[in-house]
Structure 1
Amino acid sequence: MLIAEMNGVKKYYNDRLILKVDDFKIYRNDRIGIIGLNGCGKTTFLNILTGRIEPDEGMSRIYGTYSYIEQLENDNIVAVENIASSKFGVSGLNNQGLSGGEVTRLKIAKALGRDNALIIGDEPTSNLDREGIELLQKELEAFDGAILVVSHDRDFLDAVCNAILEIENGEVCLYRGNYTKYKELKEKKRKRAAFEYEQYVSEKKRLEEALLEKKSKVKSMRKTPKRMGNSEARLHKMGAQIAKAKLERQVNAIRTRIEKLEVKEKPKELPDINVDIQKTTQLHCKVVLSSDKLNKSFGDKVIFEEAQFRVFNNSKTAVVGPNGSGKTTLIKMIIDGDPAIYRAIGVKIGYFSQDISTLDGRKTLLQNVMESSVYDETFVRTLLARLLFKREDVMKRTSLLSGGEKVKAALAKIITSDFNVLVLDEPTNYLDIYSMEAVEEALLEYIGTVIFISHDRRFVSNVADHIISIENQKTICFDGTYEEYMKKKEELSIKDDKSEKIMILKHRMAEILSKLSMPSKNDDIEALDKEYHEILEKLKQCR
């Protein structure tokens, strides 16, 4: 069943073609994730499909009802009462005085509460904590209809989508499969392009060499010797002219073949970064930050109570926990030098926050990074290239950069400065997937300690080797990756469930034994004895 389509769509910004969609269709069972660089046209694509923007050419149509979870729509979100609002904990709420996460939950509940053929989402996981994202995933997986969603959350795209629509250089390309499959197909496509480019270069070089050889032969053709008779001279001249004409035809044929060669562009490769560890001040201690007794309250609200944590030298430590648990509070206490937090001698902290206060909008990107860099300009330009900045971008004033570009610029600035501990508060916000993966690589190559908050599960999984989880005013420290932490947490949860089950079974067994020892006239002894043996068997299985 066809749900929506676009045909021959073109959208221009002044004279620049920003979006071109030849043919795109959504069917009932499609769950399509839209990805692309910041500013590539993802939101424009959604707005054209939903009729919020008119295309300059072509047609766009949705057949049936749909819900649109918009990224920036915060006004006039009224209270909703449905099953979804109860699940997302927003029953009876409106957007007044709510946090970003609560507003997002309200939008999602509103969309899921309707009987629609299509759900469209523009970054629906923004501001959601892990529990909120996982709940949204389950609801979308159970949704009986089509889904079209812009997202930078790779785990979300893997769980929800069965196709990925990439917008690149204004054109769209659909890949069947989830994000992981897209990466595999994209890499195959890149390798194929690299092979075709090498074949093109090799064939062009061979033809150009053949052309030079033929041209050289034409020039070197001997003239008629002076001592040759007239008749012989005429024959020689005729033969030479025939041979020369033949060579010239061959030259023209080769030239035509060169002109008709299908030009293949060289696939872009990111430059390597060689980090010189002598450039930054190295720490020689085991623990760089710690607290054995951390307390923090805001009025009657207790954030930390007798909390403990350790941050080890050269570790990549992720701070995780639900919205409002105190992640940013902990980061600010570290930055502000709270007396309850030990800081090793020689620690130099570089702090990244969402206000991007380290950037001077009047200066160029390169000037901003270079003014505090301990590395030379070549290294800085290489790092910026790895962060997907083009050559001309480094000379832009930072005031002209997009939100995602400013995030990357601020990260580049602190990575190249003389800091040995980076404290990053949500560095993945505003980043597209490609930029996020570039930042991952830069942080993994960084020699030093990194402490960061991120709601992007794939980012945490790829970067972190230590976890600080904030739960119930306490901190749980885990030496290992995020997957290992979650696996351990699940095992403990199962163990706790088993302990609770054993306790309930033992309690029931005690009740049965009491009745068997002193049965009343209403007790069914045979049934009680049967239940007793059943509980014994269950207890054996639990152990």
Structure 2
Amino acid sequence: MTKTLIKAKNIRKEWNGIALFEGVSFEITEGERVLLFGRNGIGKTTLLQGLLGRLAFEEGSVSYGLPAEEWGVLDQQLEISVEMTVLEYVFSGWKELAALKCRLETLGKQLQDTEGADAEAVAEYGEIYESYLQLDGYGWEAKVEKCLRQLKLDPALWSQPYRLLSGGQKTRVQLAALLARQPQLLVLDEPTNHLDNETMEWLEEWVRSYPGTVLYVSHDRTFIDRTATAVLELTPQGCRRYPGAYREYREQKALEARTLEGKYKKQEQEKEQLLESIRRYAEWFQQAHRAAGQNDFLRSKSKKNVSRLHAKEASLARLEKNRVELPKAAPKLSMKLESEAFQGDALLSLHNIRCAYGDNTALLEDFNLSLRRGDRLAVLGPNGAGKSTLLKLIAGVAQPSGGEVTQHPRTQIGYFAQELDHLNPESTLLDSLLELPGMTQTEARTILGCFLFPREDVFKHIGDLSMGEKCRVAFLRLYFGRGNLLVLDEPTNYLDIDTRERVEEALAAYPGGLVIVSHDRYLHTKVANRLLLLEHGRRPQFFPGTYEEYTAKERGRVLTPEEQTREGELQLLEMSLARLMRSDALETEEENRELMAEIVELRKAIGSLLEEN
């Protein structure tokens, strides 16, 4: 019989006296991989914290079939001492061994510092050392180091304080600790945040084949599709369980919506028929009653219509009592990105670009890239390969150490930075819009409502917003920027799945050019039509196709360095031609002839390059 590890019954949680969720009941059994799913702010992390015993629920009960020491937690807000190093944190997964090792190190230092050996200290050192050997302490040390290497954590980081690491490094360190311990139940809060594709794929395989049970929160739909065996949807009124992963969940929700809509329409038709029958019988009764006068026979006959009337009214009452209601639609982001009209083709070109770290280690060397109207370029590669740096060069936020960035005079760039530090934290949402020329309060409130900032939310300061809310504010800036080239660095990182899908729809319909860095593989699949692959120690490569084609291993079309160079030359020539074609008529006939000759030469050069391609 399958063992139940967590059983929650009628849980209720309040914040400031208002119910965040209530009536939450569910079970998680051995061997499952369950996604806790819901919109941002619904209380997923709060529910996890309550299950972990870190906060109390107002109502309900939770029973456990597993002791706390068999739980393993990946925590986005992990609080540990400032001094604890990476190696110490992972090693501390076995608390008894960690305490023994700490005591051994203290005694060893004490014995080294004392001139005459302390007999008691020597005896204690021997006893603890024996215990350490019996528990295979050195085997545990080897396992910890192996797990750190498996997560691609450089030994140079092991002695660094955990709190100084980047977000992606912290996640990998916690995963290494869980990999070493192999607890029976894993609780993972956003495990895919800040991970590069290689680590993500490793995590997917590990979770998919994990011998224990996994309960997790994630907005990465590809990760969910490849790992989840069940989806637990959390709402303010409770939760519901769906078998399968995200695709199956969506299909089941669509089927439920169609079924409910069919029942609702049938019910409305039946209601109309009953109301019509009631109206008709009421009219018949009144007419027959008037016609009957004092005739007892006719009066008795007219009462039959009254009986039928009461029967129809009873049917209507039953229908209303068992009425099927369509669910109230949750507010959704409403966004349509527009761009300035642009008649040319090439938006921007990077030619022979060099970009290096402070120690002169080159991220990019002799790099060429051209961006056209209609391009949907996804930049892929491991963390540290230079993806964000490249986007900053394209956006003009950073300058290369060599080479040239050529921008069309009418190119307008909209830049979304994953740090979101370009937003003014002191400004309210409403004030940030009222600064725009011609903006009225009514217009500003309407637009903010479309971006899921209703009523009093408009008076919130940007600095007080969650990261997901700040993302929506950053999209507001893009909305008004009307750029014809959007440069987006992790645009969906802090958004829930429903909002991500609205953003994807807006980007897919956007008429300008896009350059995107993201760990969201669904986003690449929906939007990208061209890929740039960056890797440490290798020349950048272009893949002239979709992300789906690339992941399907159709990678023979990756462009050679020569093809990349030709493509860059082609874009520069097209940009020069577009500039000459828009030139005003010159003063003399000779100058005009020279202009036409230059245009003809450029067209010939472009034709030659197109033939080579």
Which secondary structure does the structure 2 equivalent of 1:113 belong to?
helix
> Which string of whole-angstrom CA distances, capped at 9 and with x for unpartnered residues, describes residues 403-454 of structure 1?
2133123214313432111111111111111111111111111121111211
> Which string of whole-angstrom CA distances, capped at 9 and with x for unpartnered residues, describes residues 480-519 of structure 1?
11132344576699xxxxxxxxxxxxxxxxxxxxxxxxxx
Match of 1:54 among 12, 36, 56: 56
2 CA distance for matches of 1:266 and 1:124?
A: 32
1 CA distance for matches of 2:146 and 2:297?
A: 98
Are the aligned partners of 1:415 and 1:446 in contact in 2 as well (CA < 8 Å)? no
Match of 2:72 in 1: 67
Match of 2:547 among 482, 486, 489: 482
**Aligned counterparts, 1:18-33, within 5 A:** 18-20=20-22, 22-33=24-35
Count of matched residue positions in the alignment of Structure 1 and Structure 2: 483
Shift of 1:316: 1.6
Are the aligned partners of 2:445 and 2:454 in contact in 1 as well (CA < 8 Å)? no
Match of 2:256 among 189, 193, 203: 189
1 CA distance for matches of 2:8 and 2:336?
A: 47
Are the aligned partners of 1:366 and 1:394 in contact in 2 as well (CA < 8 Å)? no
Q: Does 1:357 align with 2:418?
A: no
Seen in structure 2, the aligned counterparts of structure 1 residues 377 and 352 have a Cα distance that, compared at 3 Å, is farther
2 CA distance for matches of 1:214 and 1:197?
A: 26
Are the aligned partners of 1:211 and 1:255 in contact in 2 as well (CA < 8 Å)? no
The residue type paired with residue 69 of structure 1 is L
2 CA distance for matches of 1:364 and 1:161?
A: 38
Which secondary structure does the structure 2 equivalent of 1:341 belong to?
strand
Which secondary structure does the structure 2 equivalent of 1:334 belong to?
helix
Shift of 1:254: 4.4
Match of 2:45 among 43, 48, 56: 43
Match of 2:151 in 1: 88
Give the TM-score of the pair, scaled to structure 1.
0.79
**Aligned counterparts, 1:374-523, within 5 A:** 385=450, 389=452, 392=455, 395=458, 397=460, 399=462, 401-471=465-535, 472=537, 474-488=539-553
Which secondary structure does the structure 1 equivalent of 2:164 belong to?
coil
Which secondary structure does the structure 1 equivalent of 2:540 belong to?
strand
2 CA distance for matches of 1:454 and 1:105?
A: 18
With 157-166 and 78-87 compared, the bigger mean Cα shift is at 78-87
Match of 2:294 in 1: 233
**Aligned counterparts, 1:282-297, within 5 A:** 282-297=341-356
Match of 2:379 in 1: 319
Which secondary structure does the structure 1 equivalent of 2:340 belong to?
coil
Match of 1:151 among 205, 210, 218: 218
Match of 2:242 in 1: 175
Are the aligned partners of 1:194 and 1:266 in contact in 2 as well (CA < 8 Å)? no
Are the aligned partners of 1:100 and 1:127 in contact in 2 as well (CA < 8 Å)? yes
1 CA distance for matches of 2:38 and 2:414?
A: 30
Is there any run of 5+ residues in structure 2 with no aligned partner, and where? 91-143, 559-613
Q: How many percent identity over aligned positions? A: 27
With 25-34 and 74-83 compared, the bigger mean Cα shift is at 74-83
Are the aligned partners of 2:416 and 2:489 in contact in 1 as well (CA < 8 Å)? yes
Match of 2:433 in 1: 368
1 CA distance for matches of 2:481 and 2:440?
A: 8
Match of 1:261 among 322, 335, 355: 322
Are the aligned partners of 2:543 and 2:555 in contact in 1 as well (CA < 8 Å)? no
Are the aligned partners of 2:282 and 2:306 in contact in 1 as well (CA < 8 Å)? no
Seen in structure 2, the aligned counterparts of structure 1 residues 224 and 197 have a Cα distance that, compared at 3 Å, is closer
Are the aligned partners of 2:375 and 2:530 in contact in 1 as well (CA < 8 Å)? yes
Match of 1:519 in 2: none
Which secondary structure does the structure 1 equivalent of 2:181 belong to?
coil
Which secondary structure does the structure 2 equivalent of 1:223 belong to?
helix
Which secondary structure does the structure 1 equivalent of 2:515 belong to?
strand
Are the aligned partners of 1:309 and 1:477 in contact in 2 as well (CA < 8 Å)? no
Which secondary structure does the structure 2 equivalent of 1:147 belong to?
strand
Which secondary structure does the structure 1 equivalent of 2:507 belong to?
helix
Seen in structure 2, the aligned counterparts of structure 1 residues 274 and 431 have a Cα distance that, compared at 3 Å, is closer
Q: Does 1:110 align with 2:177?
A: yes
2 CA distance for matches of 1:194 and 1:404?
A: 32
Give the TM-score of the pair, scaled to structure 2.
0.71
The residue type paired with residue 485 of structure 1 is Y
